[in-house]
Amino acid sequence: MKAKSLRTLAAAVLAVASTAHAATKPTPEAVTDLFLRTLVLSDPAAMQSLNDYTRPVRKANKADGDFINIPDTVQADKDYAKDLAPVMLEQVKLSDKDKAALVPAVEKLMQSVRDAQKRSVCTVGKSEPITQDVPKSMLAVSVAFECKVVSPPEKISGFLQRASKSSWNTAQYREAIDKLRVGYENAPLTQAWQGALPLTAEKKNGVWQNIFPRESIDVAEVLF
């Protein structure tokens, strides 16, 4: 093969590679999917992808560390039931001794809620541009999403309201809590939760970000 032909082929290969690299640049929809997998499903792979994606911009802006502290977030996920159980028990009308006896049952309930959350199935819609009050150097979009989440026979908020009007003893509370837990474990994904995540990017780098994503993605509001 002639040298000119080799140069032509090499140039063509580089052009294709460059195009393929550009095509893999995450879209706002893809970034929103990563946020949903991070905040709803607690997926470490999605957390890592978000960190890898935002790291160059964070370094350029001299921000400390990665966007997500993955070890801390994974540990918080493991501690979810243990941390939430006392919060629920604060609203139970029993003595401290009786509340302590209910800790195992409430921790099992909270773990079932967490597991139910991770069964959610989320889809991302199309991004819509935002133009109002956006600086000329920035781009902004709103990305719609919908998640199918569990729809238990009774949620924790309703349970606590009902319990506040009762005079249950410890055994009755335990029985009711166990029934509530089973409801979450067997609940179908028939509740539709819809929202939208705003994202911004500097025109010079096109990296889509949301520094406070939990303000838009808080699945607890439909689980409890």
Max intra-chain CA distance, the chain: 92
> What is the DSSP secondary-structure string of 72-111?
HHHHHHHTHHHHHHHHHHTTS-S-HHHHHHHHHHHHHHHH
CA distance 74 to 91: 27
CA 8 to chain CA centroid, Å, is 47
pLDDT of residue 64: 83
136-174 core/surface letters (b: 16 or more CB in 10 A; e: else): eeebbbbbbbebbbbbbeebbeebeeebeeeeeebeebb
Helices of type H across the chain: 3-23, 28-39, 44-60, 70-78, 80-89, 96-117, 156-164, 170-186, 220-223
Which are the contacts of 32, defined by CB distance < 8 A and separation ≥ 6?
Answer: 124, 127, 143, 145, 197, 199
pLDDT of residue 19: 33
Q: Are 215 and 196 in contact (CB under 8 A)?
A: no
Predicted local distance difference test score (pLDDT) of residue 92: 94
Neighbours of 184 (CB within 10 A): 25
pTM of the model: 0.86
Question: Tens place of pLDDT for every residue, the chain, 224 residues?
Answer: 443 332 333 333 333 333 333 446 899 999 999 999 999 999 999 999 999 999 999 999 898 889 999 999 999 999 999 999 999 999 999 999 999 999 999 999 999 999 999 999 999 999 999 999 999 999 999 999 999 999 999 999 999 999 999 999 999 999 999 999 999 999 999 999 999 999 999 999 999 999 999 999 999 999 99
Residue 24: per-residue pLDDT: 66
CA–CA dist 146, 191 (Å, integer): 10
Q: Report yes or no: 124 and 158 within 8 Å, Cβ to Cβ.
A: no
Q: At what angle do helices 70-78 and 80-89 cross, to 10 degrees?
A: 50
On whether the CB atoms of residues 145 and 187 are closer than 8 A, the answer is: no
**What pLDDT, on a 0 to 100 scale, did the predictor assign at position 65?**
85
